[in-house]
Amino acid sequence: MPFRFGVITATHGRQAVIAVRIRLRDGREETGYAAEALGAKWFDKNPALSDEANHHQLRKAIELAGEAYLSAAPSTAFGLFAEHYRSHLDASAAIGLNPLVASYGPALLDRAVFDALCRLLGMSFYEATRRNLAGIGPHPIVPELVGFDFGSFLETLRPATTIDLRHTVGLADPITRADQSERVDDGLPETLEEVVSTYGNRYFKVKVSGNEAADLDRLARIAAVLDRSPDPYFLTLDGNEQYETAEAVLDLLERMGRDKKLRRLLASMLYLEQPIKRAAALSQPVTALSALTPVIIDESDGELASFPQARALGYRGVSSKACKGFYKSLLNLARCRVWNMDGGDRYFMSAEDLTCEPGVALQQDLALVNLLGLTHVERNAHHFIDGFDGRPPAEAEAWRRANPDLYGVRDGRVRLAISDGRLEIGSLDCAGFGSGVVPDLDATEAMPTADWPPNGVPA
């Protein structure tokens, strides 16, 4: 199924798969893995760039990070990230890569490095993080956390064995059968009605387009489906940078509040995600908007300094995305702990990552947000890509055997096993970063060199 968000409608998926070999001081070696979707028009929404040019940007970020890490002196896993953080951003900026694109490279390498360390020591991501085997500690890249007790903080993190799945309703998604002119008929639910009846979701994420009249009409149709349930449901709105000002978003929320058809939906809303365009989001206050509903940053979370900047403007939260870096997520959670020391929960993190494909990418992101203590996660790629579509059946079966709680067989295909709107994730507590399976690299194309500048656009 096509999926529309922001300025793009995605019709296919491609991911980068990374293998990294590490050596400890005692000579022991191990290989670790990471995977992440190559997303167009999210990291960089410049309309002059083609989708393939966006992919080349991300490949370039991997190349730059790889060159830096391979030439580095021996260090801890966290040290590799922290000691190259600023120089990598600077090298990326010098060739026109914004901080969000730049972060993609270290995000993949850092996960693969830590996966290798976990596999080598026979520890799960959970245990290795709680014991701080990465060596996370105060560092100049996060000056406000100087003196913070990372050891005690990490020991408090407790993973769960289930997590609620927050189904994303894209801008092109059919709400009811009446919205469909044709069907895919692959055995998966296609309309929001069918998703609710098949999966039993209680958590939803709804994209808005910035066209107020169209958004209000569509929200009313969505509410008509969700309001059928006598049980509570929970909803987040994603603005996807579609608004110029906080005032425009405030007007949308106020109009929602005056519409009786949207009363329950509005009361069920948890927070609003990145409504304002990146260029303006961190230059104007959102205090009045946050008084109605908490507002978080997502695309604006390009640098480690972004969350504190957003907080000063009235934002209350930030997304965790494995593609932005798992160390960033842990550091942002530490900030929330410090800022909430008065006993409140004003500042928080959310789990937002639509495009994690089943296997390494999905499981590493789930393991991360689970350890952060987040109880629901945006998830949809399993649906729009149809499980392990495009991968060898033997590889899909290997993941099913290793994670029988997370995957099941339906219509002869290995797919996520969603029951009562939840995922069972106890099997992620295995040796490695959420996955003990070795990806079939022989069935994966070699990554092409990132032509530069991409698409003929000057850097």
Per-residue pLDDT tens digits for 67-124: 999 999 999 999 999 999 999 999 999 999 999 999 999 999 999 999 999 999 999 9
Helix (H, G, I), strand (E, B) or coil at 269: strand
SS3 content of the chain, % helix, strand, coil (to 5): 40, 15, 40
Domain that holds residue 337: 162-434
Residue 455's pLDDT is 67
Same domain, 220 and 102: no
Rounded to the nearest integer, the mean pLDDT of the chain is 94
Highest mean pLDDT pick, 123-127, 177-181, 188-192: 123-127
Task: For residue 402, give the nearest of 366, 441, 432, 376 by alpha carbon.
Answer: 432
CATH number of the domain within which 332 lies: 3.20.20.120
Asked if 128 and 208 sit in the same domain, the reply is no
122 shares its domain with 69? yes
What is the percentage of the chain residues whose pLDDT exceeds 90? 83
Q: Work out the average pLDDT over 14-20.
A: 95
CB 371 within 8 A of CB 126: yes
pLDDT at 459: 47
Which pLDDT score is estimated for 246?
A: 95
Same domain, 112 and 253: no
372-386 burial code (b ≥16 CB/10 A, e <16) = bebebbbbbbbbbbb
Indicate if 358 and 402 belong to the same structural domain: yes
pLDDT (average), residues 263-271: 98
The CATH number of the domain where 24 resides is what? 3.30.390
How far apart are alpha carbons 31 and 18 in whole angstroms?
Answer: 10
**pLDDT over 70 for what percent of the chain?**
98
Number of domains in the chain: 2
- 119 and 177 co-located in one domain: no
Whether residue 459 is contained in a domain is answered as: no
What digits encode the pLDDT tens for the residues 315-362? 999 999 999 999 999 999 999 999 999 888 899 999 998 788 999 999
Which residues are within 8 A (CB) of 360 and not within 5 positions of it... i.e. 6 or more apart? 17, 33, 34, 35, 434, 435, 437, 439
Q: Based on the domain organization, do 321 and 197 belong to the same domain? A: yes
**DSSP conformation letters of 98-142:** -HHHHHHHHHHHHHHHHHHHHHHHT-BHHHHHHTTTT-----TTS
Contact 207/170 with Cβ under 8 angstroms?
A: yes
Q: What is the pLDDT of residue 381?
A: 67
Q: Give the strand pairing for 407-410 and 413-416.
A: antiparallel
Top-ranked range on mean pLDDT: pick from 6-20, 41-55, 100-114: 100-114
Q: Residue 2 — very low, low, confident or very high, per pLDDT cuts 50/70/90?
A: confident
DSSP category for residue 431? S
411 and 295 share a domain? yes
What pLDDT sits at residue 456?
60
In the predicted structure, residue 405 carries a pLDDT above the cut 80: yes
Which has the closest alpha carbon to 141: 95, 101, 90?
90
Give the pLDDT score at 40: 85
Same domain assignment for residues 140 and 225: no
Query: pLDDT band at 234, cuts 50/70/90?
Result: very high
222 and 349 both lie in a single domain: yes
Average pLDDT rounded to a whole number, residues 196-215: 95
pLDDT at 279 over 50: yes
Q: Which residues pair with 30 in a beta bridge?
A: 22
- pLDDT of 31 above 60: yes
In whole angstroms, what is the distance from residue 144 CA to residue 168 CA? 34
- The answer on 146 and 28 residing in a single domain is yes
Q: Which of 293, 297, 270, 292 is nearest to 281 (CA)?
A: 297
In a domain, 440, yes or no: no
For the segment 211-217, the average pLDDT, to the nearest whole number, is 95
Whether 387 is covered by a domain: the verdict is yes
What is the secondary structure of 321-387 as a DSSP string? -GGG-HHHHHHHHHHHHHHTTTS---SEEEE--TTPPTTHHHHHHHHHHHHTT--EEE--HHHHTTT
Element of type H or E holding 18: strand 15-23
The whole-model pTM stands at 0.96
Tell me how far apart the alpha carbons of residues 441 and 39 are, in angstroms, rounded to a whole number.
Answer: 21
Contact between 278 and 300 (Cβ < 8 Å): yes
